[in-house]
Amino acid sequence: MLESLVLPPRQFKIVKYLCEAGIGVDISELSGFLGVKESDLMRDLIELESKQLIKLEKTVKYLIRLSKLGLKYLELGLPEERVLKYLMSGDEKVSLKELASIGLDEDEIKASLGHLRKYGLVKLEGASVILVKKELSAFLEEVSRVKELLRTHAEPILYDSVPEWAATLKRRKLVEVDDVKLIKVYPTQNLLKLMSEGKVVEGVLITNLTSEALVSGAWKKAIFKEFDVGVEVPARTPRLRHHYTLFVRYIKEILVEMGFEEVRGPYVESCLWNFDALFVPQYHPSRKETDVYYVDNASVEVKEVDVLERTKKIHEGVWKYGWREDVARMTVLRTHTTPVSLRTIYERGAGEYRVFSFDRVFRPDTPDPTHLMEFHQLEGIIVGKKVTFRELLGFFKELAKRLGMEEVRFKPAYFPFTEPSVEGFVKHPKLGWIEVFPGGMFRPEVLASVALPPEYKVAAWGIGIDRLAMIVLGFDDIRNLYSCDLDIIESTKIPEVILRNA
Amino acid sequence: MPKVEVRLWDVERIAETPLSLEELVRTLETLKSDLEEVRGDTIVYEASHDRPDMFSAEGLGRAVGVYKGSRKPVKYVVENPTTYLDVSEAPEYRPYAYLAIVENLELDEEAVRQIFQLQEKLHTTYCGDREFVSIGLYDLDKVKPPIRYVEVENASYRPLGYDNVMSLDEILRKTEKGLKYAHLVRHHHYPLLVDSEDQVLSFPPILNAEDNKVTEETRRVVIDVTGTEPNLMMKVLNIVTTSVSERSRNPFIRKVSIKGSSLYPYSPVLEESIVEVKRDYVTSLLGIDPIQVKGPHLLESMGYEILSLSDDRVVVKVPPYRIDVLSHVDVIEDLAISYGYNELVGGVTPPPHFGRVNPLERFAEYLREVMLGLGLQEVLNFMLTDPDVLSLVSEEEFIRVRNPKMKTYSAVRNSLVPTILMSVKTNSSKRRKLEIFEVGDVVRLGEDKQPTYMKKLAYGLAGDDYTLTDGLVVLKSLMNILGINYKLRKTSRRLLISGRATEILVGGESVGIVGEVSPEILISLDILVPTTIAELDVAKLFSALSL
């Protein structure tokens, strides 16, 4: 049951007025009462009608008023009347020229003569007009009828329909007829009932709802000021996840979904794990000082003597060179995360497992838009008896799909620790084919160094993920990935591909 | 990866077939080489490190011809030695040397250019920039064998590219190569290659002689490798010998025996190695057996000679220039390449276990969310940083790299405090107030020089109104959310203002610090706003969760 009906102040005034009047009221009347233009009232009226409180009756009326000509004849008399008077006051025969002297123009004279001839009061002879003596009463009656009409319409008069005479006068251009749309407002029975029960309440216009208004119940009489949503509002300065840690989470989610476990490993490594156990000969150019950060003031203890011994045998037996233990024991900042994978195989040994690591690696470089001395690698291995190169390629395809890139292409590649080795490319809508998935099957020599039984195989991959991070986050400059500049952090949007996947 | 420049017509004459560019690009892919540039007839490609036989037009033409079928795989016939190389007086520190002779050559300008390109690319890659192996080629008709590899105190000859005779000392001081490679020889214990009339062939690994250099007129060459790694030297010699012999319609390779102690009694050793590949292993490594699907020609087009083929195994001869082929897996890779990687793509088998994020990493994720919730902005920095900043902030040792490119990035951070301070510096001119945090790893250096790894959470509040109280408010809020009880204890650090530095204790153990950064340090770092800073150990917080 409706408790009460709260109306904005103006609407309340309208319904109150109507109820008091008890009958239909013209909108003009309401407009006068409220001191508001009719056009401004319409919105309130439509709302009230939609609430079934009022009924609007729209009608069309006709306003008849005198034209300029009508006003003139009202003052001077009708021209036919004036012509007749002139003829009767002097000679019965007058030239047309002479008639002009009484202050009528050619058209008026023509029209006047037409009227007079209709009543048989004049006739034309060449350029002269001759008065015919005849009964005048019919003519005078018509003249006085027209004049009476002019007189009565000196002020405009509204008609429900256009009277017959108005057409004649309109033809003579003595009057003008205008359509007038009129709205009449009636209170509905519903309104009258609610009003009599005191259920219609005048509301209070407010801009902010307050807790006081909520508690006191004043909100019940509240009418909320409407907002203009076109007005620009300021934006907040966000507190955001740094774009790179957000990207890391996104990538980790994908890998966890694919059944990978996260593993971590040391940043500072021995050459044994970073190179030798991975079958990289000590003379390999990737071990040069230009490509590796060597560390003198720290030394990673090589505790895995068995790995050291097996690695020595493998290098001496396969590569056949003077392998040096002191070189293998040198300390470096890891240049890739592959040692993390290899350490995991060493620790876990035989089994069926998938692990990944997403972590930092270091290579000497001078930072510029495309190079960094420290960057991330996404590394992973699939270990098992039935793991194949074919599956690795399939994994790349699936991973690319989950990263939002459907087209994948593979090319042969070389990495010292994998055979076969592959480089996977994905097609980016703007950048074309980009190199993203290096990987391969760990060489038997690598697996032998950590004593994985030969029936187990390992598909391995190590992605330079920052390239992908740049593409996903929309950066042209790789340095922005690691920026602590709040202007950059706050203006970096969360990419659609992350939002969709997350 | 070396960039190799060849002429298409030269490659075509070696491949014995006309080649379209598309054909060449496709074949380059199977040889792990990428086309870089085409300029008229000149083609530049990037060769893979494991295919040194691709470092010149000879190897490329040979491989392309075999792949296309216009050429048969080469059989290298090696004649018995008629001369020797005496290494009995070789220097101890570069004790090895080997020779090979190739006769019946027809050289032109392009051929000479390619042979020198091969030599140069090998030097910079496999030869360890001449440290392990140094290569030289000479016109055999201008030298008088037998050749001796000796150690001398000094000698004189006309070095390659120079008009006048110089002493070895002068060569080291005055020539570009001498200056570049002087570190590879010992003063007055110089290695030298001389012929029977004491004519100098070369001062390896520095510079050859002008008088017996290889020109377009050369018909017979003698190739030398000297160095420290005999097996690597022999592989390099094989590459050079087989490539040079491509410049003959009827190549004639002659062995040279070695007098003195040597790993090999003669050189070159061009015998093909024989590799047996088990076909079930092929299937288990690749997921299919390409031979069964497409046939054994896949191996032949990659240059292998099939000795026997049965249901369970295939035995192949590996050409001597394929020094990258070490075992059966290398042959299997060629099989996969020949089959086509893009046709090999398979499905993914379901994972054997559930995926999982590292627990500490996962905890760190929640810490980040809490810090954001407390209204601080996350920042990120490099682990490599400026050693001066690290020294300024703490007296603890940290890891320095021996060979930095820039001092700014030559140390590994041992705390997040320096990177938070540097972030304050970056932003303080743009923001009146800063509330930032970082979660990241640091590397500590113990007294035993062993690195240890720690994950840290640090935050900084910078601006005029911040004091220790604000730092403690953030700490309290964080600890409340984590449900960790803690105590504060006064502490003193060089980093912090005395009397405004506290240590955070959980269960009696220190888990971090909070305090106001001392003005001396702020000024030294050119940070002109008061800064309150805190650093907590993430692993200790993690284990405190169960307390």
Q: What is the CATH number of the domain that holds B39?
A: 3.30.56.10
Nearest-CA distance B132 → chain A (Å): 8
Backbone phi, psi, residue A152, to 5°: -65, -20
Rounded-to-integer distance, Cα B248 and Cα B229, Å: 30
**B375-386 burial, b if ≥16 CB within 10 A, otherwise e?**
ebbbbbbbbbbb
The Cβ of residue B148 has, within 10 Å, a number of other Cβ atoms equal to: 22
The alpha carbon dihedral of A289, A295, A296, A300 has a sign of negative
Nearest Cβ partner for A389 among B336, B383, B427: B336
**Triad A357, B346, A341: Cα angle to 5°:** 20
User: What is the architecture, at CATH level 2, of domain A243-497?
Assistant: 2-Layer Sandwich (3.30)
Q: What confidence score (pLDDT) does residue A165 get?
A: 86
In a domain, B354, yes or no: no
Can you give the pLDDT at residue B200? Answer: 95
Of A258, A390, A419, Cβ closest to residue B333: A419
B363 with B422, same domain?
yes
Judge contact between B378 and B427, C-beta under 8 A: no
End-to-end CA distance of chain B: 55
Question: pLDDT digit string (tens) for B369-386?
Answer: 999 999 999 999 999 999
Rounded Cα gap, residues B51 and B302, in angstroms = 13
Note the pLDDT tens digit of each residue in B3-27: 999 999 999 999 999 999 889 998 9
In this structure, the answer to whether residues B277 and B260 fall within a common structural domain is no
Using the 3D structure, point to which of B18, B48, B68 is the last residue of a domain. Answer: B68
Condensed to tens digits (0 to 9), the pLDDT of residues B59-86 reads: 999 999 999 999 988 888 899 999 999 9
**How confident is the model over B173-209, as pLDDT tens digits?**
999 999 999 999 999 999 999 999 999 999 999 999 9
What gap in Å lies between CA B75 and CA B321, rounded to an integer? 11
Query: B167 to chain A nearest CA, in Å?
Result: 31
Distances from the Cα of B545 to the Cα of A131, B189, B480, B481, angstroms: 127, 68, 11, 11
What domain count does chain B have? 4
Torsion-angle region of A139 (φ positive above 0: left; ψ -120 to 50: alpha; else: beta): alpha
What's the gap between Cα B342 and its chain centre?
27
**Pair (B395, B323) in one structural domain:** no
Residue with tokens 């000024």: B523
**Are residue B223 and residue B83 in the same domain, yes or no?**
yes
Between A92 and B218, the more confident residue is B218
Taking each helix axis as running N to C, give the angle between helix A137-152 and helix A164-171, from 0 to 180 degrees, rounded to the nearest 10: 100
So what's the pLDDT on residue A502? Answer: 44
Inter-chain contact B380–A391, Cβ cutoff 8 Å? no
User: Residue B351 domain-assigned?
Assistant: no
Residue B352 domain flag: no
Domain identity same for B496 and B451: yes
What's B130's domain CATH number? Answer: 3.50.40.10
With an 8 Å Cβ cutoff, is A492 touching chain B? no
What would the CATH number be for the domain defined by A68-173? 1.10.10
Q: What is the pLDDT of residues B411-440, one digit of tens each?
A: 999 999 999 999 999 999 888 899 999 999
Which of B308, B343, B378 terminates a domain? The answer is B343
DSSP assignments along B308-352, one per residue? EE-SSEEEEEEPTT-TT--SHHHHHHHHHHHH-GGGT----PPPS
Q: Percent helix, strand, coil in chain A (nearest 5)? A: 45, 25, 35
Selecting from A352, A413, A482 the residue whose C-beta is nearest the C-beta of B382 gives A482
B308 and B68 in contact (C-beta within 8 Å)?
no
Q: How many CB pairs under 8 A join A and B?
A: 253
Q: What is the pLDDT of residues B264-302, one digit of tens each?
A: 999 999 988 999 999 999 999 999 999 999 999 999 999
Could you tell me the sign of the dihedral formed by the alpha carbons of A113, A114, A117, A121, in that order?
negative
Of A213-217, A353-357, B141-145, B224-228, least confident by mean pLDDT is: A213-217
Sign of CA dihedral B405, B411, B416, B417: negative
- SS3 label, residue A14: helix
pLDDT of residue B547: 64
ipTM of the complex: 0.92
Identify all chain A residues contacting B229, using CB atoms and an 8 Å cutoff: 283, 321-322
**CA of B44 to nearest chain A CA: how many angstroms apart?**
18
B280 and B258 assigned to the same domain? no
- Which residues of B are less than 8 Å from A318 in CB distance? 326-327
CA angle B119, B121, B122 (to 5 degrees): 65
Query: Cα–Cα distances in Å, from A37 out to A30, A34, A129, A300, A313?
Result: 9, 9, 57, 89, 102
For residues B135 and B122, is the Cβ–Cβ distance under 8 A? yes
As its CATH architecture, domain A5-60+180-202 has Orthogonal Bundle (1.10)
CB-CB neighbors (< 8 A) of A320 in chain B? 231-232
Q: How far apart are CA B208 and CA B206, in angstroms?
A: 7
Residues B387 and B281 in one domain: no
What φ, ψ does residue B329 adopt, rounded to 5°?
-65, -30
Tell me if B511 is assigned to some domain. yes
* Same domain (yes/no): B375, B502: yes
Please indicate, yes or no, whether residues B281 and B232 belong to a single structural domain of this protein.
Answer: no
Rounded-to-integer distance, Cα A36 and Cα A467, Å: 67
Domain assignment of residue B337, given as a range: 273-343
Residue A461 has a pLDDT of: 95
Question: Quick one: pLDDT at residue B461?
Answer: 97
Asked if A368 contacts A436 with a C-beta cutoff of 8 angstroms, the reply is no
CB B223 within 8 A of CB B119: no
> What's the pLDDT at B183?
95
For chain B, state the CA radius of gyration: 33
**Does B348 reside within a domain?**
no
B42 and B174 inside one domain: no
Query: Which residues share a beta bridge with A356?
Result: A262, A380
Separation in Å, CA B261 to CA A240, B193, B231, B266, B270: 70, 17, 15, 11, 20
- Say if B25 falls within a structural domain: yes
B193 CA: distance to closest CA in chain A (Å): 23
Which of A 319-348 lie inside 8 A of B, CB atoms? 319-322, 333
The CA distance from A426 to B140, in Å, is 52
Question: Which pLDDT belongs to residue A429?
Answer: 79
Angstrom CA distances, B539 to A67, B158, B441, B486, B506, stand at: 98, 68, 11, 15, 12
Chain B residues whose beta carbon lies within 8 Å of the beta carbon of residue A294: 401-403
User: Residue B9 corresponds to which amino acid?
Assistant: W
Q: Same topology for domains A68-173 and A243-497, yes or no?
A: no
Boundary of a domain, candidates B216, B251, B267: B267
B532-536 mean pLDDT: 98
- Please indicate, yes or no, whether residues B136 and B281 belong to a single structural domain of this protein: no
Strands B84-86 and B256-259: parallel
B99, B223 Cβ separation under 8 angstroms? yes
pLDDT of B508 reads 92
Residues of chain A with pLDDT under 70: 1-2, 501-502
Residue B42 in contact with residue B350, Cβ under 8 Å?
no
CATH of the domain at B475: 3.30.930.10
The size of chain B, in residues, is: 547
Task: Tell me the three state secondary structure of residue B226.
Answer: strand
- Relative to beta strand A261-262, strand A432-442 is unpaired
Contact list in B for residue A255 (CB cut-off 8 A) is: 355
B538 lies in some domain: yes
* Domain assignments of chain A as residue spans, ordered by start: 5-60+180-202, 68-173, 243-497
3-class SS letters over A262-280: ECCCCCEEEHHHHCHHHCC
**pLDDT at position A1, please?**
47
| CA pair distance B438, B420, nearest whole angstrom | 7
Q: What pLDDT does B146 receive?
A: 94
Which of B238, B391, B412, B452 is best to mutate for the A interface (most A CBs within 10 A)? B412
What are the two backbone dihedrals, phi and then psi, of residue A251, each rounded to the nearest 5 degrees? Answer: -65, -40
**Mean confidence (pLDDT) of chain B:** 94
Residues B491 and B471 in one domain: yes
- The shortest C-alpha distance from B437 to chain A (Å) reads 10
- Record: contact B399-A256, CB cut-off 8 A: no
Which string of DSSP letters, residue by residue, matches B484-537? ---EEEE---TTEEEEEEEEEEETTEEEEEEEEEPHHHHHHTT--S-EEEEEEE
* pLDDT tops 80 at residue B225: yes
What confidence tier does B343 reach under pLDDT thresholds 50, 70, 90? very high
